[in-house]
Structures are given as C-alpha cells and as structure tokens.
Amino acid sequence: MDYIERDVTQKLLAWKKDFDRKPLIIKGARQIGKSWAVENFGRTQYDHFVTFNFDRRRELHDVFQKTKDPKRIIQELTFFTDVPLLPETTLIFFDEIQECKEALNSLKYFCEDAPEYHIIAAGSLLGVAINEGNYSFPVGKVSFLQMFPVSFKEFLRAADGQLFAQLSDFVGNTGPLPSIVFNRAEEYYHAYQVSGGLPLAAYYMIVNKGVEAVERVLDEHLETYESYFCKHTLQSDIPKIHTVWRSIPKQLSRENNKFVYRVVREGARAREYENALQWLVSAGMIYQVKLCEKPQLPLSFYENSSAFKVYMLDIGLLRKLAKLPAEIFLHSSNILTEFKGAVAENFVLTSLLAQGFDVPCYWTLQGNKAEVDFVVADRLSVVPIEVKSDRRISGKSFAEYDNKYHPPLRIRFSLNNIKKDGNLINLPIFLADWVREWMP
C-alpha cells in the first residue's frame, strides 16, 4: 500500500463532471492531506496538473495584483511552469491561497468569464484569513468542500479490505456482528486511537512502521501546528493561542468536560481569551460544541454560547498533547477512564462532521442533573447521541432525555455489539462513520 484512499476523491470527481462547475475551495486544517488529495486527483484524472503555491512563491502575487482578467492571468502564469494551462484538460491548483487575497478574489472572474478552466484552491488558514475581514470573498462564485483527517472508515479500508467489506455488510442492521468481525474491528479501532487520522501517522500505523515512528510523526505535527500560531494573528494573541491550545486535554479531563477559562489560566476571563479560542476554531484545529437548552429544530436557535465544550481536530494529536503513552489504548486498563471517555467523544464528533453533519450541541437537564453528549439535526429529526468508551453503559441521563422529549431514535456508542431496544440502538463505537445508515 502506497497511500490511504480518501473518500474526498469521489466528491472531486462529481465536481469535475458538474455541468455548472465553479472554482472549488477545499477547506480544512493543516496537514490533513488536502494538497496530496488534489495532486493525486489531478495526476490521475487530468492530462496535466500544476500547483501554484502562494506561500512558497511570493512573486506569484504580482500576477494577480496587476489584472483581474482570467485570460491574462493564465498567460502570466505560463511563465512560472512548463505545464500547459489548457481549458478542460489541465487541473490548476492554487495552494495556500489565503496568502494572496487578489488570487482569492480572482476566482469570481474565472467563474464568470473563464469557466472552462478547472481550478481548485485550498489554504490551511483560509478560515482565519477570511475572518480578518480584509478579503473580498467571491460569494456565490465558488463551491466549497470541507475536508477532515483520515476517518476510521478510510483507515480500516486501507488496513484490511476484507474486514472492511465484511463490516460494511452489517451496516444498517439491528442484529449483532459476528464475534470474529467485532473483535478484529475493535483491535483496529484501538490502533486508530493511537495514531489518529493525520495521514502520515495513520499510514505508519497501517504498514506497521511501529508505535515509535507514529509517535515521532505526531510530535512533529504538534511542533508544526504550534509554529503556525504566529500566522494571521496579532502578536499579542500568539501566547494566548498557545495557552488555550495546551489547555484542551485538561479541559476534557474534567468531569463534565465543559470549557472553563480559569483552566486556561488562573483568574482568566472570557474577554481575554475569546479571540484566541476563535482563531483555533477558524483554523479548523478545534471544534466548539455549545449547550443546547431545548433540543428542537433549528438547534442553532436554542444554543447557549456561554456554555460549551472544546474538542480537537484529531484524537492522535489529543493523546500526544496530553502526553499519554500509546499503551493505554493498545491494552485494556481501567486507568484514565474519564480521559478515555473524552477521546471517545472526540472520535464520534469528528466522525459526525466528516459525514456532513453540522457541529452538534450537547444537552443538560437544568441543574446539571443529566447530560447527553451530542444532539444532532438529521433532516427533520433531532437525534440524541450518548458515547461510552468501554462496555459499561450505566447512567440515567439518556433515560431522563427520553422521558422528557420522547425522541423516535436514540443512539448509544460503546464497545458493545449492535442491539436495538425500543427507540434506543447501541452501536459499536467503531461504526460511528456509518451512523447515517441507522438514521430515520
């Protein structure tokens, strides 16, 4: 195996075939495989492929500052490459496009005046740059595609195609998985908990490079992320971003996981760190899950922005930032049960997002007498989701929610087999990437 096949490839193919195709912007955090996915797509699906990186080649900025005419831009870009820039048959990739606001704005004119050119753009800090407010964004003239780290589904397919196929046969069923399928899938899930979904770490785990190699890759990724905190932000906010980022494992190890500013720094107040928190959200490095006071559609109407939890983009990074050894996931143990629960919640959250769900909320009964980990909107339904990190499923919160709201479906993830009981279905946590198949 030379690479991990990404599901995003199918979405890129659909974009290429779209009669009303617009320039495409791929959003997502740094180091999740955006550039590799586009390059692999370009080299396999087009006659020609070329990348223009606005961070590495600052002289490219001059081209877009001189003109807004797509035909002239193409003509100027030919001086920077030997690849022919041809309509329909060349894929043009604008990488790190947030470094040149004129290039971002040019996508509008390619859409209007030169749609025959196939253009994909991406940028690790695109969300941050746009939030600065200095960009004229081509609203309605581009398409968007959100990308995430390697999912467990992609990980398993690359690691064991036969098991992946066997597991897929049971998706949507309410009967239990055969023990041999369940046990092997659980083993791969624990391996994924160690590596996470950043492509190189996941690849090293799959091809048995060894845990030491996986650890080294994750350490390097953490260093790279922290070096990026100084980009597109005020100098005064850089230490605050570092402090918020490093506090996340401690936040998630608390009993109810709720984000508290005094955990960031003793005596800290929200107004001091709100910008730092928002920077990390905009960069796609963390997710903010807000309290839902009333689980009804639209969920956003009932969000309480003052109460929220924060999760990371990847569980491998979360483990490394917490300085936890791989052994706590590779071998059964009862230590760090609360943090294992937080990792399981983080895993389910990123799985939901990768399937196209909006960022969910969490729910509590007044007085914090009961809590449900996630509440998601699916078409015209609101589905509560409970996450357990092992086989113990005790707790009254889910029953309290059921008694109060009578939802048509409740989903519990745990390390137990598939089982349906009334409106409650228990799913093995490693099936989180297929949860839509059980939705109403």
Find the mean pLDDT for residues 218-235: 87
Q: Decide if pLDDT at 124 tops 90.
A: no
Mean pLDDT of the region 143-148 = 95
Q: Quick check: is 89 in a domain?
A: yes
Query: pLDDT at residue 335 above 80?
Result: no
Predicted confidence (pLDDT) per residue in 382-430, tens digit: 999 999 998 888 778 899 999 999 999 999 999 999 999 999 999 999 9
**Preceding amide of 407 cis, omega within 30:** no
Q: Which of 114, 131, 146 represents a domain boundary (last residue)?
A: 146
User: What's residue 78's pLDDT?
Assistant: 97
pLDDT at 334 over 90: no
Q: What is the pLDDT of residue 3?
A: 83
Is pLDDT at 154 greater than 90 in this prediction?
yes
Residue among 418, 310, 353 at smallest CA distance from 151: 353
Over residues 29-81, the pLDDT tens digits come to 999 999 999 999 999 999 999 999 999 999 999 999 999 999 999 999 999 99
Q: Which residue has the higher pLDDT, 329 or 92?
A: 92
Give me the CATH number covering residue 15: 3.40.50.300
Predicted confidence at residue 332, as pLDDT, reads 63
Identify the domain containing residue 103 by its residue range: 8-146
pLDDT > 90? residue 139: no
Q: Are residues 392 and 357 part of one domain? A: yes
For residues 109-115, give the mean pLDDT.
Answer: 97
**pLDDT higher at 226 or 334:** 226
Report the range of poorest mean pLDDT among 163-172, 277-286, 361-370. Answer: 361-370
Q: Are residues 175 and 102 in the same domain?
A: no
How many domains does the structure of the chain reveal?
Answer: 2
> What value does the mean pLDDT of the chain take?
92
Amino acid 236: pLDDT? 84
Domain match, 29 and 165 both: no
How would residue 333 be classed by pLDDT, with cut points 50, 70 and 90? low
HSE-up (13 A, CA, CB side) for residue 193: 27
CA dihedral 283, 285, 291, 295 (to 10 degrees): 90
Same domain, yes or no: 190 and 134: no
123 and 218 part of one domain: no
pLDDT confidence of 229, banded at 50, 70, 90?
A: confident
Residue 428 included in any domain: yes
Q: Higher-confidence residue: 6 or 228? A: 6
The residue among 102, 131, 146 that closes a domain is 146
Please name the residue that has the structure tokens 């659980």: 186
Provide the percentage of residues in the chain whose pLDDT is more than 70: 96
Same domain assignment for residues 223 and 78: no
Q: What is the pLDDT of residue 170?
A: 94
